[in-house]
Amino acid sequence: TLISLYFPDFAALLCVTAAWPALSGRGSHFPSEGESEEVRSAAIKRLLEVFGMEDPPAVHGHKQPPQYMLDLYNTVADVDGVTKDPYLLEGNTVRSFFDKLRSEQVEFKFNLSTVARSEKVLTAELHLFKLRPQGTITFSRHHFCQVSVYQLLDIGKTNSTQTKKLLSSRLIPVHSAGWEVFTVTQAIRSWVADEGSNLGLHVVVRTLEGSQTDLKLIHFASGRHHHQSKLPMLVLFTDDGRRSAALESTNPHEAISTSFLPQTPVLVKSSRTARSPHYSEEEGRSKPCQRLPLYVDFEEIGWSGWIVSPRGYNAYHCKGSCSFPLGQNMRPTNHATVQSIINALKLIRGIETPCCVPDKLFSINLLYFDDDENVVLKQYSDMVAGSCGCH
Calculate the average pLDDT of the chain: 77
- Residue 317 domain flag: yes
- Residue 375 domain flag: no
Phi-psi region of 307 (alpha: psi -120 to 50; beta: other; left: phi over 0): beta
Direct distance between the N- and C-terminal alpha carbons of the chain, in angstroms, rounded to an integer: 23
- Which has more confidence, 294 or 334? 294
Residue 156 has pLDDT above 90, yes or no: no
Domain residues for the domain of 59 are: 43-89+286-366+385-390
- Residue 150 domain flag: yes
Residue 18 has pLDDT above 80, yes or no: no
Q: Quick one: what percent of the chain has pLDDT higher than 70?
A: 71
Element (H, E) at 378: strand 375-390
Give the separation between CA 371 and CA 352, rounded to whole angstroms.
Answer: 48
What is the 3-state secondary structure of 347-368?
CCCCCCCCCEEEEEEEEEEEEE
Looking at the fold, whether 84 and 157 belong to one and the same domain comes out as no
- Residue 230 domain flag: yes
Looking at the fold, whether 215 and 102 belong to one and the same domain comes out as yes
Looking at the fold, whether 308 and 357 belong to one and the same domain comes out as yes
Looking at the fold, whether 210 and 173 belong to one and the same domain comes out as yes
Residue 246 has pLDDT above 70, yes or no: no
Looking at residue 162, its pLDDT comes to 61
Residue 335 has pLDDT above 60, yes or no: yes
Looking at the fold, whether 105 and 233 belong to one and the same domain comes out as yes
Domain tally, the chain: 2
Assign 244 a pLDDT band (cuts: 50, 70, 90).
low
CATH of residue 75: 2.10.90.10
Q: Could you give the C-alpha distances from 320 to 269, 284, 287, 358, in angstroms and in order? A: 19, 7, 5, 12
What is the 3-state secondary structure of 85-119?
CCCCCCCCEEEEEECCCCCCCCEECCCCCCCCCCC
Looking at the fold, whether 171 and 110 belong to one and the same domain comes out as yes
Mean predicted confidence (pLDDT) in 105-120: 87
- Residue 262 domain flag: no
Looking at the fold, whether 78 and 212 belong to one and the same domain comes out as no
- Which has more confidence, 135 or 242? 242
Q: Which of 185-189, 282-286, 340-344 has the lowest mean pLDDT?
A: 282-286
Mean predicted confidence (pLDDT) in 176-203: 92
Give the separation between CA 359 and CA 326, rounded to whole angstroms.
Answer: 15
Assign 127 a pLDDT band (cuts: 50, 70, 90).
very high
CA 175 to chain centre: 37
Element (H, E) at 172: strand 164-173
Residue 187 has pLDDT above 60, yes or no: yes
Looking at residue 323, its pLDDT comes to 85
CATH of residue 206: 2.60.310.10
In this prediction the pTM is 0.77
Helix then strand then coil, in percent of the chain rounded to 5, is 25, 30, 50
Looking at the fold, whether 129 and 82 belong to one and the same domain comes out as no
Looking at the fold, whether 106 and 226 belong to one and the same domain comes out as yes
